Amino acid sequence: MKEVKKDKAVDIKFLAMDLPRLFAGIIWGIIYRPKRVYISNRRPDKKSGALVIANHSSFTDPVLLGISMGRRLWYLAGELAMGNKLKSFLLKGCGCIGIDRNISDIDGIRKAVNVMKRGHYLLMFPQGRLERDGEIKKLKSGAILMAWQAGVPILPVYVKKGIKWYNRAIVMIGEEFYISDYCDKKMPSMADIEHLTDIAAEKMHECEHAYYAYIKSHGKKRNVPRTD
């Protein structure tokens, strides 16, 4: 299999994508002031690609995560979210990859996998829909398959806007894990994929629980996760 060449962290070919993100990041950063919180001392490898999986309770989640991850972030979005041609053009320019969930979208999956192989972060909401209550419910197995095909780790995240306008948004970042950590088969079976999907859900729940623990202990010096 031909090895995919990784993109540079700073590359002029991404200028059209990076500049609008920079300006949007400044504006949204001032409004929401997202705080990045790691739930352990093990930091993600920022030099390699990864599949970021997160809960989805607000339309601002992609923006908050884009500001907080500290690097260029691509997005996986359903074709319905891409909208008309103009909206689709703008979203694709910002790094969105449209995928049709109703069919086996080989082309969309190939693009998503290729982005991660090139050393980028790809954001996916594995619940497949907006959950206003913020609860993490049944995940779809597509995340496992894409991470396995790309050979990259999965990075679980929990994001939550502040209840009041003056509350900071919180982004809880968990420990990344590889499919190979739990399955050493060359081709995972359907049972393996279901088991791995459950593990991914558990990792997301860990981030969710860490969020509520952080909120409960906010303002106390003890038992507060690392932030930056």
* Cα torsion angle, 186, 191, 195, 197, sign: positive
Q: 64 is written with which tokens?
A: 């908050």
Residue 46 dihedral angles phi and psi, to the nearest 5°: -80, -5
* Second-level CATH architecture of 33-218: 3-Layer(aba) Sandwich (3.40)
Q: How many CA atoms lie within 13 A of 143 on its CB side?
A: 33
Q: 226 is written with which tokens?
A: 């690392």
Residue 95 dihedral angles phi and psi, to the nearest 5°: 105, 15
What is the rounded CA–CA span in Å between residue 7 and residue 118? 6
* Residue 83, pLDDT score: 59
* Residue 225, pLDDT score: 45
What parts of the chain have a pLDDT lower than 50? 1, 220-227
> How many H-runs (helices) and E-runs (strands) does the chain carry?
7, 8
What pTM value is reported for the model? 0.85
Sequence-ordered strand ranges (E) for 104-146: 121-124
* Residue 3, pLDDT score: 65
